[in-house]
Every structure is written in structure tokens, then in C-alpha cells.
Chains A and B, each alone.
Chain A
Amino acid sequence: MKSILIIEDDQILLETMDAILSLRGYLVSLARNGKEALEKISTNRYDLVLTDLMLPYSNGLEIISKLNQGDKKTPVIIISSSHSEESIQDGFNIGADDYIRKPFTPSELLLRITRLL
């Protein structure tokens, strides 16, 4: 079973993505802020990480660079609102693999995850 970490501060979006992915058989972990995410990343390995960029405590870019510090690269998908294009570019520059712009469709989310796993 593939494991996915979702890092998102919007509770509704977090719960919804959790439901979408759990129903498809993924093992989902949730983090509501950057601090929680960094703790989870340091203690667990994930097959894929979905992260927002604007997060409390540590932003998405810090999390992506932390993920890329190890030997094995973890695929990362950025979930972004439309007004952070520069941040998305920065995300790609430091190792993100894909991005999804909000609002998105559940099928788009699944397709992009399937492509990377």
C-alpha cells in the first residue's frame, strides 16, 4: 500500500483529500502545518507528499528542500492557489515534481498522483 503525506492548513481540503485518497486505497497521513509536517517527515518515509505552499510555522518550500536532503528522493506535488506563481517556480527549482492549482477536480488529483507513483 502506497503511503501519502498531505500537508494542508485548510481543514476542509485536508479532510476531503484524505477521503479521496483513502477510498482509492492509499495510506494517508495528515499534517496541518509545517512543523507537524517536518516532524512526520523526519520519522517516517512516504511514497509521495502533497503540500500547500503557504503554511503556518514552515512553508512548503522548506518542506520540499528538507525532503530532498536524504538519499532517496520523495516525489512532491505542490497544491497551490493561483496567486503564487513565483513560489511554484521556486518549488520546481528545489525539486517539486508537479503542481495542482486550486480549485482542482478530484480526478485531476488522482491522475497526477498515479503518474508519479
Chain B
Amino acid sequence: MNNFTSYPLFIQGALLVILITIVAVIITYFYIIIIRLKGNFDNKLRKKYEPKFHDLLIYEIVTNDSSSVKPSDLTVNKFKELDLRRKSVRLILIQSIRHFRAQFSGQTNVALRELYIKLNLQADALANLHSTRPHSIIMAIKELMEMNIFEPEIGTDSFLKHKNRYIREITRKYIIVMDEEGVSKVFTSIVEPLSGIEQLELFHVITEKGTSKICDFSNWVNNDFPSSLVSLCLKLIVHFQQYNSTPIILQLLATEDRTLKREAINALGKLLQVQSESDLVAMYDDEPEEEKIEIIKALGRIGSGNKLSFLKYVFDNEPAIQLKKHAAKSIVNHNSVGLFLFNNMYIKASPLNRTILAHASNNNIKY
């Protein structure tokens, strides 16, 4: 130590850096060795136990012709005899059961879940919900979702406001899939904007759900919620054809948010809301071109015939080619109701207008 202090300061600094580097390399190597040893150990365990679990699952569950979906105590004991006190062994069995469940439906699928519950294999996933590692929490929620395990007292609701966005995402999916009131719980918890992919995933999960009651999505169509959530709800309203949401969507036409306004107009068109036509026509003149296009398209989708003269007016008088194109297309979309008007317009049209009308009536030209 005396020698060390006698060196010049920059030599002391260099020696310290060298020492720290050597220690870091030793720790890294030690860490790599530990991971490899653990990997080898896990592989040996897998080689030893996986074939036994597979045989038991195949011959005791899948090919078992018993009419009961509940595995017998005898079957459960056969699994218990295979050292299930060890966490690594339990993990191998859990992975096998999940894999089998992904391949088989019906009674076999239910029996595999019953076996999982009887062996209390969910205990590890439930314990991992309290882990400090986000990855462990995510994997635990995935496992519980796959195994169809849900109890309100598990406490996953608190993850809806977790700081980690991936935990929030998987929790939303889990609660929507598992909880009867899941959509309501999830939507009410959303305070931050949803990304496009989050909206898409939620839309997919909700529309695939199928078995439970569908909630009224217009509950979230107001300024208290992020516009991305309102946008998602509009799409869900259209998907589930919730016509009673029309008055709330009409209120949204007054919003300052132009994207939302366009989506509201689009939703009214897709819901074929004839009573909204007058509102759409009344707001037309004050709107920018993009909103005008949405209004014209919505009138074409509704196709009542009440606003054909308005569409003709737009076609004849709007200087913007985009508006003319969409007005022509909306007249065509009225089918037989608009046919007489369309033919008349075509006969009297200027060469440019005639080209626009020809394009509008050509099914191969999409816009």
C-alpha cells in the first residue's frame, strides 16, 4: 500500500482501472459459468422428467376414455410421485401441460386444466405476480390466462396502472378475457393515450371474446377519456352495431379534435344512421376538405336517397377533384336509388366530369 501511494497519481488511476476491469471480467465469467451450469442442470432434469410427464399425460389424460374430466386421485398421485416439490420439475410439467392444452380441445383440454389445479401448479405463477422482475410477472399472467385461472382476489387489477407498459398490456388482455366486467374495468383504468398497436390488440381481444355480455362502448365516448380510447370505442361501436350510441356520436361531431371528428362521421356512416344525415349536411360547409370527404362517404354508405341532391350539388359545384370523386362514388353507392340521377348526370356531364363518373362506376377502381 505504501508503494501504491508512492506512485504518481495517473499511475494510481491506471492501476485502479485495471483492478476494476479484472474484477468485472471475473464476475462476468462467474455469471456465465453459473448460467451455463444452471442450463445444463435444467437440461438434465428435462431429459429425465419430460418423457415421464409426457407418458403420463398421454396415457392417463389424453387417451383416457373415462367420461369424467376430473383426473382421479390415482392419476394425480402418479404425477406427485415425480418429485414435484422441486420448482424446476414443476416448471417442466407446467410447460408440458400448456403444450398439450394448445394441441387438444374438448374434454382433454378441460382434464389437463383440472390436473393443473389439482396439483396446485398455479401456486408458482401466483407467487410470481409479486416478483420485482417484470418478465416474471408477464410470464405468470400469461400462464394464468392460458390455464384459464382467474380469481378477483389475485390482485391483477392493480397491474392495470403498473409503470411497465408490457405488464399493463398483458393485464388488460387477461382481465378482458377472464373477467365478465373486464372491458369496463380496463377502459375505466386507461388514462394515457393508447398506441396504434395497443388499440389493435384490444380490438382483437374484445371482438374475439364472444361468450360474455357486450358492454355499451359509448360510455367512453367523451372528453374525459384519451382520444385514442374514444377512437377505439367508435370502432367497437361499429363492430358490435350499437345503434343506440348514435346520439353520443352526434355530440362528438362538435369536438375540436379533427381526427376524432372524422372517425365519428365514419362511424355514423358505417352504422347507416339516416337520422344523422341532416347533421352531417349542416356541418359540411364549415369543415376542411378531409372532413368533407368523410361526410360525403358517410352519406354514400347510408344510401337513403334523401341527400342525393346534396351529393349532386357537391359534384357540380365543388372545385376540388377529391370532393367530386367521392360525391360521384357516393351517388353510385346508392345503387338503384341513385341510378337514375347518375345516368342523367353522365349524359349532361362535361368531359372531365364524365371521366370522374366513369371511374366512380367502375368497380375495379377503389377509393
Give chain A's interface residues, CB within 8 Å of chain B. Answer: 10, 12-13, 15-16, 19-20, 23, 102-108
B99 and A19 contact, CB distance less than 8 A:
no
9 A–B pairs (Cβ distance < 8 Å), ordered by A: A12-B100, A13-B103, A16-B62, A16-B63, A20-B62, A20-B63, A103-B109, A105-B105, A106-B62
At the interface, yes or no: B96 with Cβ under 8 Å from chain A? Answer: yes
A25 → chain B closest CB, angstroms: 13
B107 and A16 contact, CB distance less than 8 A:
no
Q: Given A20-B62, A23-B63, A106-B62, do A15 and B54 touch, yes or no (CB 8 Å)? A: yes
Is chain B's binding surface mostly helix, strand, loop or mixed? helix
Give the 7 A-B residue pairs with the shortest CB-CB distance, closest first. Answer: A105-B106, A103-B105, A19-B58, A13-B103, A16-B58, A103-B104, A12-B99
Instruction: Give 1 or 0 for each of B100-134: 1 = CB within 8 Å of chain A CB.
Output: 11111111110000000000000000000000000
**Which chain B residues lie closer than 8 Å to A12 at the CB level?**
54, 96, 99-100, 103
A-B contact count (CB 8 A): 44
Q: Interface residues of B, CB < 8 Å — how many? A: 17
Q: Given A16-B62, A19-B62, A20-B62, do A103 and B102 touch, yes or no (CB 8 Å)? A: yes
A15 to B55 Cα, complex, angstroms: 9
A16 to B55 Cα, complex, angstroms: 9
Q: Given A12-B54, A12-B96, A15-B54, do A103 and B62 touch, yes or no (CB 8 Å)? A: no
A19 and B63 contact, CB distance less than 8 A:
yes
**Which chain B residues lie closer than 8 Å to A13 at the CB level?**
103
Is chain A's binding surface mostly helix, strand, loop or mixed? helix
Residue among B63, B96, B103, B107 with the highest chain A CB neighbour number at 10 A: B103
B108 and A19 contact, CB distance less than 8 A:
no
A108 to B105 Cα, complex, angstroms: 10
A106 and B104 contact, CB distance less than 8 A:
yes
**Which chain B residues lie closer than 8 Å to A106 at the CB level?**
62-63, 104, 108
**Which chain A residues lie closer than 8 Å to B106 at the CB level?**
105, 107-108
At the interface, yes or no: B59 with Cβ under 8 Å from chain A? Answer: yes
A102 and B103 contact, CB distance less than 8 A:
yes
**Which chain B residues lie closer than 8 Å to A108 at the CB level?**
106
**Which chain A residues lie closer than 8 Å to B105 at the CB level?**
103-105
**Which chain A residues lie closer than 8 Å to B108 at the CB level?**
105-106
**Which chain B residues lie closer than 8 Å to A102 at the CB level?**
102-103
B223 → chain A closest CB, angstroms: 39
Give chain B's interface residues, CB within 8 Å of chain A. Answer: 54, 58-59, 62-63, 96, 99-109
**Which chain A residues lie closer than 8 Å to B103 at the CB level?**
10, 12-13, 16, 102-104
**Which chain B residues lie closer than 8 Å to A10 at the CB level?**
103
A13 → chain B closest CB, angstroms: 5
Among residues of B, the one whose C-beta sits closest to the C-beta of A104 is B105
**Which chain A residues lie closer than 8 Å to B109 at the CB level?**
103
A4 → chain B closest CB, angstroms: 16
**Which chain B residues lie closer than 8 Å to A103 at the CB level?**
101-105, 109
Q: Given A16-B58, A19-B62, do A105 and B100 touch, yes or no (CB 8 Å)? A: no
Among residues of A, the one whose C-beta sits closest to the C-beta of B107 is A105
Among residues of B, the one whose C-beta sits closest to the C-beta of A101 is B105
**Which chain A residues lie closer than 8 Å to B59 at the CB level?**
19
B174 → chain A closest CB, angstroms: 20
A105 and B104 contact, CB distance less than 8 A:
yes
Q: Given A20-B63, A103-B109, A106-B63, do A15 and B58 touch, yes or no (CB 8 Å)? A: yes
20 A-B pairs besides A16-B62, A104-B103, A104-B105 with CB distance below 8 A are A12-B99, A12-B103, A13-B103, A15-B58, A16-B58, A16-B63, A19-B58, A19-B59, A20-B63, A23-B63, A102-B102, A103-B103, A103-B109, A105-B105, A105-B107, A105-B108, A106-B62, A106-B104, A106-B108, A108-B106
Among residues of B, the one whose C-beta sits closest to the C-beta of A107 is B106
A104 to B104 Cα, complex, angstroms: 5
A116 → chain B closest CB, angstroms: 21
**Which chain A residues lie closer than 8 Å to B99 at the CB level?**
12
Among residues of B, the one whose C-beta sits closest to the C-beta of A19 is B58
A101 → chain B closest CB, angstroms: 9
B291 → chain A closest CB, angstroms: 38
